[in-house]
Amino acid sequence: MKILHVVGAMNRGGAESRIMDIFRSINRSEFQFSFLVYNTDLCQYRDEILKLGGSFEVIPSPNSGLYRYLKSMYRVLTSDYDIVHVHVGVGGGVPLLISFLARIRVRIFHARNTFGAKTKGTRRKIYDRVSLFLIKHFSNMKLAVSQKSAESYFGKGCVSRGVVQIIPNTIDEAKFLDNGRYRSELRSEFNIEQRAIVIGHVGSFRKEKNHSFLLRMFRELLKIQSNVYLVLVGDGSLRCEIENQIKELHLDDNVILTGLRSDIDRIYSMFDVFVFPSISEGLPGSVLEAQASGLRCILSDTIDKSVDIGASLVSFLSLSKSEMEWASATMNVLRCSDYILTPNEIEHCFISSGYSISELIKKLSIIYNSSK
C-alpha cells in the first residue's frame, strides 16, 4: 500500500520526529511511505528514510510560483498513491483538493498544532479561511493530536459529532528510559559543572515556543540561584533574535544553544527540569520525551492538559504570571524532586495513557487499511 506523506520538509522538528517514530515502527512491508518535500538537500532525515526503504517526491515550494507548485503537486498525486496523509497545517488545503481531483480514496488531514489567526493581514486571513474550508471538505479522514487542535481546524461542531479522531502524539518511550548514564558525558561536552542545575527546553526557534519569555524568566532565576544553566535544543528562524536577546540580558555565560541534535533521547539526561512556556501548541512531543526521561515539567496552561501521562511530573502555570513567579515555581519544583520514578513506572504510565508508540501503530494501521 503506497502512502504519500505531505510534509514540506523532513528535518528534526517535532512533527517530523513523530512521523519518523511511526515509520520506524510500522510494518514497512505492508505500508510503503513516500514523503512530499520541497528540497531534499535540507532534509536531515534523508539518509535514514532511504535506508528504511522510503522515498521522496520533490516539488517546488508554493513560494516559487503557484502554477509550478500546482502542476507538480498534481503530477505526483496522480502517480498511483492509495492514501495521502497531510501534515502541513493550514497549507494542507490545496494538497487535499488536488488529491480529491486525482481520485485518491483516503485523504487524511492530521492536525498537529493549534491554528490561530491572530495579528494577520487581510490577504492572509482570506487564504486561511479558504484553506480551512478545503481541509474540512476534501479530507475524508480527520485526525488531530488533541481536542484543541481538532477544534481549531475543524470546528467544535465536527468534534462534537465524532467526525474527528483524536489520536495523541506518541513516542517510542523505550529510547528515553534509563539514560542517566549519559548525564556526566553530556555535561562535560558543554562545559557544565556536574553539580550545576540545568533547565532544559527542546523546540524550534519560533514565536509560538516563547523563547523570549523563557530567557527573561531565566534572568530572574539567576537572581535566586547562581549555579544554573539554561540549555536550548533546536534551531529555527528566530535563532539570531534569540542570540541577540541572550547578549542583551547578559546571559552568555549561562545559556547554551546546542542546535539540532541526533541524540535527542540522551540530551534530556543532562537536564534537572524541563520548562516549556509555549504560547500555543497541539500536543508537544518534547513534553512526552521529557516525561519519558523522568523529568519534572513546568508548562504553560495553553498546552492541552492531556499531555500529562499521569506520573505526577507535570505542573501547569499561566503565562499571565510574571517571569519571577515562573522562576520561583521552577525552584520549588527542583526542591521537591526527591522521589525518582523507575523506568518501569514511567513505561506503565505511557501504556496506560495511550502515549506508547505501539498504540499509535495499531490505530494508524486500521486507518490505512480502510483504503482496501
Domain ranges across the chain: 2-170+356-369, 173-353
Q: Specify the higher pLDDT residue, 239 or 89.
A: 239
Give the Cα separation of 137 and 131 in Å (integer).
Answer: 10
Residue 117 clears pLDDT 60, i.e. is over it: no
What is the rounded CA–CA span in Å between residue 270 and residue 365? Answer: 36
**Tell me, what's the pLDDT at 233?**
97
CATH pick for 173-353 out of 3.40.50.20, 3.40.47.10, 3.40.50.300, 3.40.50.2000: 3.40.50.2000
Q: Give yes or no for residue 22 having a pLDDT over 60.
A: yes
Q: What percent of the chain has pLDDT over 90?
A: 73
Instruction: Give per-residue pLDDT as tens, 142-192.
Output: 999 888 889 999 999 999 999 999 998 888 898 899 788 899 999 999 999
Q: What is the pLDDT of residue 119?
A: 52
Parallel/antiparallel/unpaired status of strands 273-276 and 197-202: parallel
Q: Rounded to the nearest 5 degrees, what angle is found at the Cα of 150, between the Cα atoms of 149 and 155?
A: 120
CATH class of 2-170+356-369: alpha beta
Bigger pLDDT: 302 or 114?
A: 302
The answer, as to whether pTM is greater than 0.85, is: no
Same fold? 2-170+356-369, 173-353: yes
For residue 241, count CB atoms less than 10 angstroms from its CB and return exposed for 0-12, middle for 13-18, buried for 19 or more: middle
Q: Say which amino acid occupies 294.
A: G
Band of pLDDT at residue 120, cut at 50, 70 and 90: low
- pLDDT for 230 beyond 70: yes
